[in-house]
Structure 1
Amino acid sequence: MFYFTTRTTLLALVAGLSSMSALADSNGIAPDPACVYQETDLKTYGGQAYAAPEEIRSVNGQLTAKLDVVFTKPAETKIAGCGVTLRSYNGKLIGPTLRVKPGDTLNITLNNALGQTGAAKPEELCNNPHDAFGGSPLPENFNCTNLHTHGMHVSPSGNADNILVMVPPVPYKNPKNSSLSANPRQITINIPKNHSPGTYWYHPHVHGSTGVQVGSGMEGAIIVEDDPAKTPDSIIKANANEKIFMLQTIPYDDTGKVNDFLALGDDRAFVRNRYLLVNGQIAPTIKMRPGEVQRWRFIDSSFNRTAQLTLEKHDLHEIAVDGNYLSQVDTWMNNWEQKDYCCTGKWDQEKTFKLKRQAVELIPGSRSDVLVQASKTPGRYKLAADTYITGRLDPSTASFTDNVVAWIEVEGEPVADTGLPSNEEMAKLYPYTDINNSNVKYNQIATFNRDQPLGGNDGGIACDPVRDKTPCYPIGFQVNGHVFDASQPRVLELRPNAEELAKAPEDSNGPQTGTDSWIISSADPTRNHVFHIHTNDFQTTRTDPLGNTETLWRDSLLVKYGQPQTILTRYEDFDGTTVLHCHLLSHEDMGMMQVIKFEKRNAAMVGH
Structure 2
Amino acid sequence: MINSCNSANGTYGSLPPASLPKIEIGEELEAEVSPPSQEEPTFKTPISLLLLGAVVIVVICSINAVFIGLPAVNSSSPSSTTTTTTTTTTTTSTSMQTIGVPMLGIGTKQKTVAGLIFQGDAFGFGYHKYDRMNIDKSIDDVVNKCVRKCANDKRCTGFGFNINDRYDNRANGNCWFMTGEFKYVDGIYDPTHRTGVWIKELDPNSDFQNNTLIWKPSEEGAEFDFSAVLEFCYDDMKWDGDPRTNDVYGYRLSGQEECAGTAPLIRLKPGYKYRLTLRNTANPSIQTNLHTHGLHISGDGNADDVTRFVDGGKCLDYFWDIPDAYTGGTHWYHPHLHHSTNMQVAGGAFGMLIVDDNLELDGIPAYLKDEKLLQISKIGHVVKGNQHKNEVVNMTGNKWYRLRISMVDTKALAAKISFGSHCEVRKVANDGVWLSTVPAEPDNILYLTGASRADVAIRCQANSEITHTSLSTYSSTLVASIRIKGFEPQSSDPTPWSPRRSAGLMGLEGNVVAGKFEVVMLYPNLNESPYNPEKAIVDVLWDTVQEWTLFKTDRHPFHMHLYHMLVVTPGGCGIHEEGQFYDTIQAPRGAPCTVRFKTADFGQRLIFHCHVLKHEDAGMMNWALVTGEDMPINGGDPLQHECTAN
For the criterion TM > 0.5, the same-fold answer is yes
The reply to whether residue 400 of structure 1 matches residue 427 of structure 2 is no
Deviation at 1:517, TM superposition (A): 0.8
Residue 546 of structure 2 is aligned with which of 510, 516, 523?
Answer: 516
- Equivalent pair of 2:105/2:181 in contact (CA under 8 Å): no
1:437–1:429 CA distance, 2 compared to 1 (3 A): closer
Report the counterpart of residue 309 of structure 1 in structure 2: 417
Deviation at 1:540, TM superposition (A): 0.8
In 2, Cα distance between the equivalents of 1:298 and 1:306? 14
Residue 410 of structure 1 aligns with an amino acid whose one-letter code is I
- 1:429-451 deviations in Å (ceiling 9; x for gaps): 6873241241011111111113x
1:64–1:312 CA distance, 2 compared to 1 (3 A): same
Report the counterpart of residue 558 of structure 1 in structure 2: 586
In 2, Cα distance between the equivalents of 1:583 and 1:46? 37
Please give the residue correspondences for 1:171-190 in structure 2 after superposition, counting only pairs within 5 Å.
171=313, 183-190=314-321
- Equivalent pair of 2:568/2:594 in contact (CA under 8 Å): no
Deviates more, 1:220-229 or 1:145-154: 220-229
- 1:30-55 deviations in Å (ceiling 9; x for gaps): 99999899699545899852233211
Report the counterpart of residue 340 of structure 2 in structure 1: 209
Please give the residue correspondences for 1:140-159 in structure 2 after superposition, counting only pairs within 5 Å.
143-159=286-302
Residue 207 of structure 2 is aligned with which of 30, 49, 52?
Answer: 52
Please give the residue correspondences for 1:399-478 in structure 2 after superposition, counting only pairs within 5 Å.
399-401=474-476, 403-417=477-491, 419-420=493-494, 422-423=495-496, 425-428=497-500, 432-450=505-523, 477-478=524-525
Residue 366 of structure 1 aligns with an amino acid whose one-letter code is S
1:580–1:516 CA distance, 2 compared to 1 (3 A): same
Deviation at 1:72, TM superposition (A): 4.3
Deviates more, 1:59-68 or 1:590-599: 59-68
Residue 387 of structure 1 is aligned with which of 448, 454, 470?
Answer: 470
1:371–1:58 CA distance, 2 compared to 1 (3 A): farther
Residue 536 of structure 1 aligns with an amino acid whose one-letter code is Y
Report SS of the residue matched to 1:441.
strand
- Equivalent pair of 2:106/2:180 in contact (CA under 8 Å): no
- 1:158-209 deviations in Å (ceiling 9; x for gaps): 111111112122x3xxxxxxxxxxx211111112332221111111101111
Which structure's residues are more often helix, by fraction?
1
Report the counterpart of residue 282 of structure 1 in structure 2: 389
Report the structure number with the largest CA radius of gyration.
Answer: 2
Residue 600 of structure 1 is aligned with which of 622, 628, 636?
Answer: 628
1:32–1:159 CA distance, 2 compared to 1 (3 A): farther
In 1, Cα distance between the equivalents of 2:267 and 2:334? 16
Deviation at 1:94, TM superposition (A): 2.8
- 1:523-562 deviations in Å (ceiling 9; x for gaps): x9xx611111111111115869xx9964111111104442
Report SS of the residue matched to 2:486.
coil
Deviation at 1:479, TM superposition (A): 0.3
How many percent identity over aligned positions? 22
- Equivalent pair of 1:148/1:161 in contact (CA under 8 Å): yes
Report the counterpart of residue 530 of structure 2 in structure 1: 483
Q: Structure 2, unaligned stretches of length 5 or more?
A: 1-35, 41-103, 109-119, 121-178, 184-197, 218-223, 253-258, 631-646
1:239–1:429 CA distance, 2 compared to 1 (3 A): farther
- Equivalent pair of 2:508/2:596 in contact (CA under 8 Å): yes
Deviation at 1:73, TM superposition (A): 7.9
Q: Structure 1, unaligned stretches of length 5 or more?
A: 1-28, 117-124, 126-142, 172-182, 251-268, 335-357, 389-394, 451-476, 497-513, 603-608
Report the counterpart of residue 68 of structure 1 in structure 2: 231
Report the counterpart of residue 371 of structure 1 in structure 2: 457
Residue 597 of structure 2 is aligned with which of 556, 569, 577?
Answer: 569
Report the counterpart of residue 372 of structure 2 in structure 1: 243
- Equivalent pair of 2:298/2:603 in contact (CA under 8 Å): yes
Deviation at 1:580, TM superposition (A): 0.5
In 2, Cα distance between the equivalents of 1:80 and 1:407? 25
1:441–1:429 CA distance, 2 compared to 1 (3 A): closer
Report SS of the residue matched to 2:336.
coil
Deviation at 1:114, TM superposition (A): 1.5
Deviation at 1:93, TM superposition (A): 2.3
Report SS of the residue matched to 2:579.
strand
Residue 277 of structure 2 is aligned with which of 95, 102, 109?
Answer: 109
In 2, Cα distance between the equivalents of 1:315 and 1:193? 33
Report the counterpart of residue 359 of structure 1 in structure 2: 445
- Equivalent pair of 1:285/1:409 in contact (CA under 8 Å): yes
Residue 559 of structure 2 is aligned with which of 532, 539, 545?
Answer: 532
- 1:363-399 deviations in Å (ceiling 9; x for gaps): 0221100010121xxx4211112124xxxxxx2xx22
The count of aligned residue pairs is 428
1:146–1:412 CA distance, 2 compared to 1 (3 A): same
Residue 204 of structure 1 aligns with an amino acid whose one-letter code is P
Report SS of the residue matched to 1:329.
coil
1:229–1:35 CA distance, 2 compared to 1 (3 A): closer
User: Which is bigger in relative contact order (C-alpha 8 A, separation at least 6)?
Assistant: 1
- Equivalent pair of 1:103/1:193 in contact (CA under 8 Å): yes
In 1, Cα distance between the equivalents of 2:345 and 2:558? 17
Deviation at 1:227, TM superposition (A): 2.0
1:317–1:57 CA distance, 2 compared to 1 (3 A): farther
Deviation at 1:234, TM superposition (A): 3.1
Residue 590 of structure 1 is aligned with which of 586, 600, 618?
Answer: 618
- Equivalent pair of 1:325/1:430 in contact (CA under 8 Å): no
In 2, Cα distance between the equivalents of 1:32 and 1:490? 57
- Equivalent pair of 1:287/1:408 in contact (CA under 8 Å): yes
TM-score (norm 1): 0.64
TM-score (norm 2): 0.60
Report the counterpart of residue 7 of structure 2 in structure 1: none
In 1, Cα distance between the equivalents of 2:39 and 2:522? 39
In 2, Cα distance between the equivalents of 1:31 and 1:586? 33
Which structure's residues are more often strand, by fraction?
2
Report SS of the residue matched to 1:52.
helix
